[in-house]
Amino acid sequence: MLENLLCSCRTVVLALAFTIVSPISSYSFSPPLITINKSSVPNQVLDDCGIKRVGVMGASNTVGKSYVRYLRELCPSTEFIVRAHGGYSPREQLKYLLPGLLEEKIELLIVSPSGNDLERHDHVAAMREIVGRAKQKGVETAVLSVSPRSRYYQEWKEFNNYLLHEKLGVSSLIDDVVDITSPLLRNGSEYICGYCKKDGLHWTDLGDQRVAAQIYNTLWGKKKLKMPEK
């Protein structure tokens, strides 16, 4: 009888151990993709960015696993439709990417002009045409600044200044301007990208996170995200 009692107790102990341990071992904990100031930003803020369909257009930094994947994390109820091609300037984006994107019934167009072909000095004209066509379709527009780079420093700096301060001279066609240059700059530098790969042009994963945080804070953030750090 004592032996049966010991067996029963052993069975109960094992059952309790499994009940306690099993659920915990089924979860894997990982840090958030973008650091949030938990004391001031409730998770609910990230659930709805108030828009259903967003088109994103750009060049190589918008291709593949880009900053857009972090925007999807931040705005899970929003559909992001990406049209991007490595090496494309605004003129090529206008010709080859914009027509199809505007057929997607998007509510907002985010354009990353890129620094491709800056030396041709037609970025402003092409960007004006891009936002003009979007507005004709009733689409809101947001334009990103050109990210920092050592080549064509004067050209991209002039473009960014014109964009940030005067909305390229077409303020009625550009709803929002997003300064992604500042969060990508190396500390103490005016032109070196501190969050780029060795080529100094293409962003690292942390660079993508910082760009996504800046876009979110500018366009949707009711409470601001803390900028991701190394």
Domain edges within the chain? 43-219
How far apart are the C-alpha atoms of 156 and 172, rounded to whole Å? 23
- The mean of the pLDDT values for the chain is 83
Q: CB neighbours (10 Å) of residue 87? A: 11
pLDDT tens sequence across 124-174: 999 999 999 999 999 999 999 999 988 888 999 999 999 999 999 999 999
| pLDDT-derived band at 119, boundaries 50, 70, 90 | confident
More confidently predicted of 30 and 172:
172
Listed in order, strand segments (DSSP E) in the chain are: 53-58, 79-84, 108-111, 140-144, 176-178
For the whole model, what pTM was predicted? 0.80
Q: Which two tokens stand for residue 5?
A: 């009692």
Q: What is the pLDDT of residue 26?
A: 30
CA gap 214, 149 in Å, rounded: 19
CATH for the stretch 43-219: 3.40.50.1110
Average pLDDT over residues 23-34: 34
